[in-house]
Amino acid sequence: MPLADHIEEMVKRLGVVIVAMAAVSGVVFPFATYLINFLWFNYLPGSEEICRQVAQVGATNVDPQTACARVYHPLAVVLARLKVATLAGFVVALPLFVYETYLFMRPGLYPTERRYYLASVPTSLVLAAAGMLFAHHLVIPILFDYFVGYSQGATTLAFGLTDTFDLIVLMLGAFAIVFQIPLFIMLALMMGLVTRTWLQRRRLIFWGLFAALAFLFTGDPTGLGPIFVAVTMIVLFEGTLLLAQWTGHE
């Protein structure tokens, strides 16, 4: 097949992923406000009812540590809803991206490689969900507990909706991607692209790369976020190598 045809097919398959992501985002967008409230009050003190009272009647007998969202520009709420909807579309698009990649590469794959690649499609979705649950139940609560604890007795909490939700969406999306590491490594090993020994000999290079990527793309005011991401990437990398050794991959 000529190079131009390869490029055209690749663009078409990427277009399928983008359209699917946009479609899911469009479906989720009307319900995004509920998701925003759910996420916000899972990580920060207070409740939707209390914050609604504060906004409507200016209630004064409210716990000073109640973290109601502050809106500092007119489009903040709309953009927050868009970010949540886009995150949902992104998670659904991950396994679709793997599948479209498989269809693009299928003519050049051996039958065994095709089976490995097809098996990775549902696995990608499971790992993305696991990564988001890990961030939701462990990483993000620790980050916001630190924020709240650090400010107690010194300042009044004033979490801006835009910056706060940027961090939440970034961490959820980052861990959805980070948890794909075992899948990519095992797929590369099964297809013979790399060997376990080759990866082990270059582990320090990978560790440094993980740390650099974490601090480059997941910054937060405390620096805890990038540390969590980097450590998780290293643990997943080393855990996958142990699994590969246990299953007999050289």
In tens, the pLDDT along 67-123 reads 777 788 888 889 999 999 999 999 989 889 888 888 888 887 788 778 888 888 889
Output 170-173 pairs: Cβ under 8 A, ≥24 positions apart.
Answer: 170/217, 170/218, 170/225, 171/135, 171/139, 171/140, 171/143, 171/218, 171/225, 171/229, 172/87, 172/132, 172/135, 172/136, 172/140, 173/87, 173/90
Tell me the pTM. Answer: 0.84
**3-class DSSP state for residue 73?**
coil
Phi, psi of 70 (to 5 degrees): -100, 130
- Fill in the DSSP letter of residue 193: S
The type of residue at 175 is F
- Fill in the DSSP letter of residue 185: H
> ∠ CA(212), CA(217), CA(219), 5° rounding?
95
Dist. CA 29–CA 48, nearest whole Å: 19
Output 5-10 pairs: Cβ under 8 A, ≥24 positions apart.
Answer: 9/104, 10/104
- Say whether pLDDT at 29 is over 70: yes
What are 207-248's pLDDT values in tens digits? Answer: 999 999 998 887 676 778 889 999 999 999 999 999 888 876
**pLDDT value of position 63:** 55
Q: How far is CA 222 from CA 33, 50, 124, 130, 146, in A?
A: 27, 28, 30, 25, 9
Confidence band for 48, pLDDT divided at 50, 70 and 90: low
Residue 94 or residue 153, greater confidence: 94
What are 10-28's pLDDT values in tens digits? Answer: 889 899 999 999 999 999 9
